[in-house]
Structure 1
Amino acid sequence: MLRAAAVFSATTVMGAGAAWADGEVNIYSYRQPELIQPLLDAFTKETGITTNVLFLDKGLVERINAEGANSPADVILTVDIARLVEAKEGGVTQPLQNETVNKDIPAQYRDPDGDWFGLTTRGRVVYASKDRVSLDTITYEELADPKWKGKICIRDGQHSYNIGLFASMVAHHGAEYTETWLKGFKENLARKPDGNDRSQAKSIMAGECDLALGNTYYVGLMQTNEKEPEQKEWANAIKILFPNTADRGTHVNISGMALAKNAPNKDNAVKLMEFLSSGEAQTIYAEQVFEYPVMPGAEPSDIVKAFGEIKPDALPLADIAANRKIASELVDKVGLNEGPSM
């Protein structure tokens, strides 16, 4: 089922073919409304333009295509390079060549054709047991070292977060090396891939494994989770290791935006995208979601700073995304989701 969020104006949930006033912009979002609301409030305060949001947990591309030329979508907001590429390849975006946006967002976080733009990054890092792992540095390559046999936990190997990392390995080392690496990595797993990133931290606390792959922002979410305070204990059991800080840097993924193909309020959409690319907006966004602004010099939150300094992999995300299919095929080829051999 698609779930539509309440629209942040006097209107109700958007429908195809609806007529909109000149002072509005319509956003289709894969990101939860409460996470982007402070951004939209700031935009409306600055410009007077009302924002309408439709939240979808899946099927965004399919919905916009079904709506066709009458789609009310102006701006697409999403997380993960995979979904941004999916939107472009699905034919629901249009290129934007905008001096302000291109100035604020580094080229490595932009589609070369202008069809999508990164706003914040998160590192795909190693969660390590504070009690059982003395290392302060590690590389992704080392995760295939037999010394970690039975010590690593991960979520589904085909999850987009992991595929992004594996695609970066292909981009840097080639498919043959990555296949061999994945075989060694698989044999170091403590169990079959399972759960989500937060549950990997829980498994480390429980002593089921010593290392896990996870995104940086989940640590901030766990540390501040008042509704489920046990997650604070999971976060307290781990430390973050930023892989490959001595060479190419840590693999990062992005949250991002795109201009919808048939944006009926294109001028307002471009104004919103210019605002979202600004240092002010990136700081607000990064604070909300415990991520890093892509703008050079923009500061992350104090909680994120406490994770330690990140050196992002400088390889353009478009180059990494181009290897996602190969990475996915390699995950199946080595049987990563079957877990280690007995």
Structure 2
Amino acid sequence: MSYKPLDPSIVYLITGAAGFIGYFLSKKLLKSGCQVIGIDNLNDYYDVNLKMDRLEQLLPFNKFTFIRGDISDKELITELFEKYKPSVVVNLAAQAGVRYSIENPDVYIQSNIIGFYNILEACRHNPVEHLVYASSSSVYGTNKKVPFEETDFVDTPVSLYASTKKSNELMAHTYSHLYNIPATGLRFFTVYGPMGRPDMAYFGFTDKYFAEEPIKIFNNGDFDNDLYRDFTYIDDIVEGIERLIGKPPVDAVPHKVFNIGNNNPEKLMTFINTLEKTLTKALGREVQFEKVFEPIKPGDVPATYASTDLLQEAVGFKPKTSIEEGLQKFANWYVDYYNKK
């Protein structure tokens, strides 16, 4: 259960540093006095202004260096590793989104497969103490057994996004085996919070409310068999990563995979009702979404539910933020950021 605290004397490379998780992790590392090299291509998959605003909060730290670039650019990644010699790499750069992958497969192969391959190659030729990388709960596909455990069968992904994340785990395992690269994959479960991704449902629902448009709920209006999601607050995700950074695997093949989820799945409708209540509190007036129910979309899964036993055993941590607390922080931020009062 032991892990080393963050070491300010070494260099941390965070890919996707202007992204949701990348920003919060970079901020935590910088506040701890660490040197952080951040790379991000600042693509327009969602509002670039939000990415720039995150970045603006990191730039004042004198130990932060930002490179605008793409991890699929092998020459750039090679140069970056040779110049800065990072000891710890946290790869959070990826093309996200299940539904988007159905219409735009090319960008997923570029970023999630080729980009990750470039990171692995760079770690091979410039040895690192630890490579931590983002996987996803989507690798579990339509797994019926709950909670999802890291030892479960995950060979039946239902989206290209999930396939790329499963591929990352296999690639990392191979590189760990061949080149002794200590690597840890993190299966994130529906991360949410302030400054989050606008393509996520909770953010989109809030946007729709203020645009006076109905929200679409993809559960057929079946409340008895509603979708379940393991919603995980951003601070819990960052604490989990921070603890795992200091605990590289030491097995014969130094590669491990961990779930980071709330271990407490909520019905989608419960989450939506809680979001209405937190927005009501943030605004000081009653909020109710106009709801339209539609069939579940291709690539979506009916439930995500993380077992966090391995994480707790490894670093003594289990995500603990309730959706009431987490969504209130999001609602307060949204109302303030978009000046909705």
* TM-score normalised by L of structure 2: 0.30
Computing the radius of gyration from Cα coordinates, the structure with the larger value is 1
